[in-house]
Structure 1
Amino acid sequence: MSKELENSIEIKELFKAYDGKSKVNVLQDINLDIRSGEFFILLGPSGCGKSTLLNIIAGFISKSGGDLFIQNKEISGPGKERSMVFQQPDAALFPWLNVRENIEFGMKMQKVSKKERSSISDKYLQLVGLSEHEKKLPEELSGGMKQRVQIARVLANNSEILLMDEPFGALDAQTRRTIQQEFIRIWLHTKKTIIFVTHDIQEAILLGQRIGIMSKGPGSFIESIYDVKLPYPRDITSQNFNEHYKMIQSHFEINSNTNNRFNVDEVSEII
């Protein structure tokens, strides 16, 4: 099987339950195959379990049942082949390290030479617009700037799988659009496997090859998957883009008052 057809991530009948007065399934019957090099979007309303699923794939949260394979190996914890950008940057940055040191931390742990670390961090400091803030500590940064440090660090670490939990949500509109466009350029060049969580339909269509729509929780599942056949870079003002937007928006409107399940095997292709 060619690398393009291999699955980086395979999920079979996965569920996650939290014990309390009554046992509640946060996720239920998650079945998903993500191909190597694919840009996959998890789209759904707040509280539907998108971040929980992403954290299980990252190895930070244990699943309650089902199977999860990363590159044909069953996983039960974090791995160096996966890097994650968290929704809340304060949970990920080291407060005693400055911006450049945070970006270089993973490379330092991998014994990358100081000269090479410096060159790589220069590149990503410039990308995220933080070159003039490289010596600042996280406490001196705004929320959006902290998130940009996270993004730069993940890109600098050069992991094969990138897990991104609404990474651009705290950025201003102009910076967000710039980094979205640059991120697509980097992905097209590197063909890393990306799982990107968002509740923004426009962002999902702008970035993703496939969009997995999650149902409302609890007991959330992937109720439908859309193939997006638009070429990159994508124009949010085009008629085709707007048709995609209306189709996915109508999915939420149609299913907002129903609990009927969709067959995930019935994939909708957007032409």
Structure 2
Amino acid sequence: MSKISSIIPNSIIIENLSKSYNQSIKSKSNYIIENINLNLKGGEFFILLGPSGCGKSTLLNIIAGFIQKTSGKLLINNKDVNKPGRERAMVFQHPDDSLFPWLNVKENVEFGLRMNKVNKEERSAISNKYINLVGLAGHEKKFPYELSGGMKQRVQLARVLANNPEILLMDEPFGALDAQTRRIMQRELIRIWSETKKNIIFVTHDIQEALILGQRIGIMSKSPSASIEKIYNVNFPYPRNITSSEFNEQYENLLADLEEETHLGLKEKVIRIGGGHI
């Protein structure tokens, strides 16, 4: 991968990135992910798609700075990343893990601003803006226990946006929602992304969700030693029509690639367990 000659705002450059949790063993199977290469420009909606356990969340956590890479390069705005930073924010699958139950909606959204010593009037104006943006106007005084799963996820998203990160890292954020709420949240996320122009990396194992949301979709192979095997460009416009022939053709292509990666991963596992025989 060639080096960039100038800084692209909100860009993410990953070169030959690998992660091992047992560096004393010098074997390929030691790596969770290996030789990941990715180049994201600012404002892009990028999907990491792959089977459960393939290392998608590991890669996302490395980009967030929560865990350290073993080798390779990770640059954001042409600067090396090895710890969390304010330009990045994570949205988790389960909002209960990140919301404070003793704070109401408005207080939860304002929490990061208060920690950064933003004055009260400015905090209130910013929180109102993002509460409205995620469709929670009128629910400001409610506590998390009074909210549905979809509403909690909206609160988490509003709190992240209120801190104005350049990059949103989303780890299967709609995976725990019912189908109807999930569709609503997908539409809302597209609207919010189109209004804010954030760089989004969204992890999912759902092909339809990937096609509804992403501009590009990176398919990950099965762990161990997972990598991004192929990147699809999704060129049809938003909102995506899931019944169109174009959508379904792309779906079938993605499904075939995922099934191939899963089959290869299972075959390699059998070879290792069986001493080289299937």
Secondary structure of 1:55's aligned partner: helix
Deviates more, 1:129-138 or 1:231-240: 129-138
Deviation at residue 97 of structure 1 after TM alignment: 2.6
Does 1:194 pair with 2:200?
yes
Secondary structure of 1:57's aligned partner: helix
Match of 1:221 in 2: 227
Deviates more, 1:223-232 or 1:1-10: 1-10
2:8 and 2:77 in contact (8 A); partners too:
no
Hey, what's the Cα distance between the residues in 2 that align with 1:3 and 1:208? 26
Deviation at residue 2 of structure 1 after TM alignment: 11
Match of 1:13 in 2: 16
Q: Encode CA deviations 1:104-161: one digit per residue, 9 max, x unaligned.
A: 1122233434233323333443454545553344455555443332122112222111
Hey, what's the Cα distance between the residues in 2 that align with 1:183 and 1:117? 23
Secondary structure of 1:256's aligned partner: helix
**5 Å matches for 1:84-123?**
84-123=90-129
RMSD (CA atoms):
2.7
Percentage of pairs with the same residue: 65
Distance 1:141 1:185, change over 3 A: closer
1:4 and 1:35 in contact (8 A); partners too:
no
Distance 1:255 1:60, change over 3 A: closer
Task: Determine which structure has more spread, i.e. the larger CA radius of gyration.
Answer: 2
Match of 1:263 in 2: none
2:222 and 2:261 in contact (8 A); partners too:
no
Match of 2:46 in 1: 40
Hey, what's the Cα distance between the residues in 1 that align with 2:152 and 2:196? 24
The unaligned stretches of length 5 or more in structure 1 are 261-271
2:10 and 2:199 in contact (8 A); partners too:
no
The unaligned stretches of length 5 or more in structure 2 are 268-278
Does 1:63 pair with 2:63?
no
Hey, what's the Cα distance between the residues in 1 that align with 2:141 and 2:24? 48
Hey, what's the Cα distance between the residues in 1 that align with 2:24 and 2:41? 39
Match of 2:87 in 1: 81
The AA in structure 2 aligned to 1:64 is T
Match of 1:157 in 2: 163
Does 1:253 pair with 2:259?
yes
- TM-score w.r.t. the length of structure 1 is 0.85
Hey, what's the Cα distance between the residues in 2 that align with 1:116 and 1:177? 33
Secondary structure of 2:103's aligned partner: coil
2:59 to 18, 34, 53: 53
